[in-house]
Amino acid sequence: MTAEPILAFHDVAYGYAKDLPEAVSHLNFDIPPASITAILGPNGAGKTTLLHLALGLFHPRCGTITVGGKPLKSYRRRELSRWIGLVPQNEYLPYEFSVLEYVVLGRSPYLGPLDMPDPVDVSIARQALETIGILQLEDRVVHELSGGEIQLVIVARALAQQPRILLLDEPTSHLDLANKHTILKTMHDLAKTGVTVIFSTHDPDAASRIADRMVLMRKGRVLDAGSADVVFTAEKLSKTYGIPVEVVQVDGLKVALHDERYD
Amino acid sequence: MKKINGWRVALLIAVPLILLALSLFIGRYPKPYWLPPNLLFNDELARSLVLNLRLPRLVAAFLLGMSLASAGAVMQMLFRNPLVEPGFLGVTQGAAFGAGLSILLVGSLPFAIGSSATIFAFAGLAFSYLLARRLHYGGWVLRLVLAGIAVSALFSSGVGVLKYLADPTRQLPEIVFWLLGGLYAVTWSDLLIVLPFVLIGLAIIFLMRWRLNVLALSDETAFSLGASVERERLLLLIAAVTITALMVSIAGIVGWVGLIIPHIARRLVGPNAARAIPAAMLLGGTFVVICDDIARSLLAGEIPLGILTSLFGALLFIIMMVANKIKVQR
């Protein structure tokens, strides 16, 4: 018996406008609590759309999404934001906030529109920085950090929100090898503390390293969803990416290779 | 969290208070530049001048500065663009057109000019907003900016037509003088009409100042943090535009305050709107009171306020640019 899913999609479809065809459809999958799920697929497969549906930003054209066993629709805006945090693909900070000032913004689900953060909020934000191991950056200006550090700061902001589900949109896509490792390790450690981690990626390697569940997507459809051992196969990945893919084991880690030579 | 120097806060509050008190005695009666305070008790004319002319004018100048600077700060946050100013959504040019129209049709009644300016300021805003809704490309920032530019251009060409039609000896100088901005005509009764609405607008901006930081993030992030993004942004936008339109209707076009003061405020206390908004309010009020003191007392005749704010505003802007104090990160 598996635990009650913390997030579930039942035959969900969505289109960006009434007169446009569905961008994603027949989305079906369950996600157990404290798991790490990779939404894996090529560019344009609908991964971000799926995350935005889970966030409640988009309303499905049909089907239902449940969060913690209740329909997502039944949550109030602020209540839902205490459940689900987001690390977006591109965070745009118009002005030069300090790291701590930015991370404190993660407390807003617990504050009314007229409230100001109090010392407790600030200490929770500092704890989030400490959890990720970047407390030493608290007084730095976000813009002056490296790409990898900024990504960690954004994760800390989402953690200050104390969410039960953390959505990350392509968290490693523009990072170098070392920074990618740091982010993946952070996500791995977060799941150990009981946070359900769901991330989109087009990179099978990032998925294979930490995910215990995978949702394979292509052209707005879910091709397969389930435990990583079952889903991460040459046949299924080849279908997902539309090119021949091989899966090899290196020291117990599964790696996807695109097997074609150019000369 | 970034500690701000206690002295800076004390100065930000003390300087405006001292300035306001001193400004009551600055002017051209009984002789240029200074009215000895003891005259208030002996001279009936001095007392009436201070209470009925200088005091409402000072209050108006401070409110004008607070309104333009905080509205500018709000818009620079919401539009995530440090170069927008509070009147750009058709408000300033709409008000100019309304004032010009009233001068041409009704004559120089301050109340008529003010009402017409207010009506057209809001017409400019409504037109910009409706036009933005009809555009089908770009995000909401781009749509509003494009619509604001188009509507402002439309009204400013309208102002050109009004100037062309105006009687060059009577009406034209009056239109030009209004366009240059000034508080010479402010009375308690004008002020009391707009005061409640301006105070409500300022209160909304002041109370939602921390939230503004969240609303300046990308739509998806602000949403994920529990904000009702569109509704809250609209509320702040309406508050900012309303106080701008109302103050423009009694003061004419007073440029550069809404653009430059928010930058100086962010430089002094950091970009966090929880501090930048109050700082912009105090600095804006102080800046306009100083400019207005100069406008009404330097020469025997009144210098249009808008000329002084543009002059000092542009100079400050140049100094800050050269000193590399305006940083925009893309």
Tell me if A128 sits within 8 A of A159, measured CB to CB: yes
For range A221-228, the mean pLDDT: 92
Task: For B140-199, write each residue's pLDDT tens digit.
Answer: 778 888 999 999 999 999 999 999 999 999 899 889 888 898 888 888 988 998 899 999
Provide the CA A249 distance to its chain's centre, in angstroms.
26
State both tokens at B307. 């000329």
- Going by C-alpha positions, the residue among B266, B254, B263 that lies closest to residue B311 is B254
What's the pLDDT at B110? 75
Share of chain A above pLDDT 70, in %: 98
Chain A contact for B77, CB < 8 A?
Answer: yes
For residue A257, pLDDT over 60 is answered with yes
Chain A contact for B142, CB < 8 A?
Answer: no
Place of tokens 């959505």: A167
Phi, psi angles (nearest 5°) of residue A88: -75, 165
- CB-nearest to B210 from A52, A84, A116 is A116
For range A227-231, the mean pLDDT: 91
Closest chain A C-alpha to B269 CA, distance in angstroms: 11
Chain B contact for A76, CB < 8 A?
Answer: no
Q: Where do the domains of chain A lie? A: 7-258
What's the pLDDT at B324? 67
Task: For A97-108, write each residue's pLDDT tens digit.
Answer: 999 999 999 999
User: Which one of A77, A78, A84, A105 would you mutate to disrupt binding with B, by most B Cβ within 10 Å of its Cβ?
Assistant: A105
Kindly indicate the confidence band of residue A51, based on its pLDDT and cuts at 50, 70 and 90.
Answer: very high
For residue A1, pLDDT over 50 is answered with no
For residue A150, pLDDT over 80 is answered with yes
What's the pLDDT at B326? 55
Eight-class DSSP state of B138: S
Phi, psi angles (nearest 5°) of residue B145: -65, -45
User: Which one of A104, A108, A164 would you mutate to disrupt binding with B, by most B Cβ within 10 Å of its Cβ?
Assistant: A108
What's the pLDDT at B4? 61
Pairwise CA distance, residues B10 & A91, whole Å:
35
Which residues in chain B are contacts of A86 at CB distance < 8 A?
220-221, 224
Residue ranges for chain B with pLDDT beneath 70 = 1-5, 324-330
What's the pLDDT at A261? 74
Sign of the four-CA dihedral B160, B162, B166, B172: negative
Closest chain A C-alpha to B329 CA, distance in angstroms: 7
Q: Which of residues 256-295 of B touch A (CB under 8 A)?
A: 266, 270-272, 274
Q: Is B10 helix (H, G, I), strand (E, B) or coil?
A: helix
DSSP letter string, A17-81: STTSPPSEEEEEEEE-TT-EEEEE--TTSSHHHHHHHHHTSS--SEEEEEETTEEGGGS-HHHHH
What's the pLDDT at B1? 46
Phi, psi angles (nearest 5°) of residue B219: -55, -45
ipTM above 0.90, yes or no: yes
Strand partners, A64: A10
Domain range A7-258, its CATH number among 3.40.50.800, 3.40.640.10, 3.10.129.10, 3.40.50.300: 3.40.50.300
Give the type of residue at B133: R
- CB-nearest to A94 from B80, B207, B272 is B80
For range A106-125, the mean pLDDT: 94
In this complex, do B226 and A85 lie within 8 Å of one another by their Cβ atoms?
Answer: no
Chain B contact for A95, CB < 8 A?
Answer: yes
On whether the B6-322 domain is CATH 3.90.1520.10, my answer is: no
> What is chain A's mean pLDDT, rounded?
92
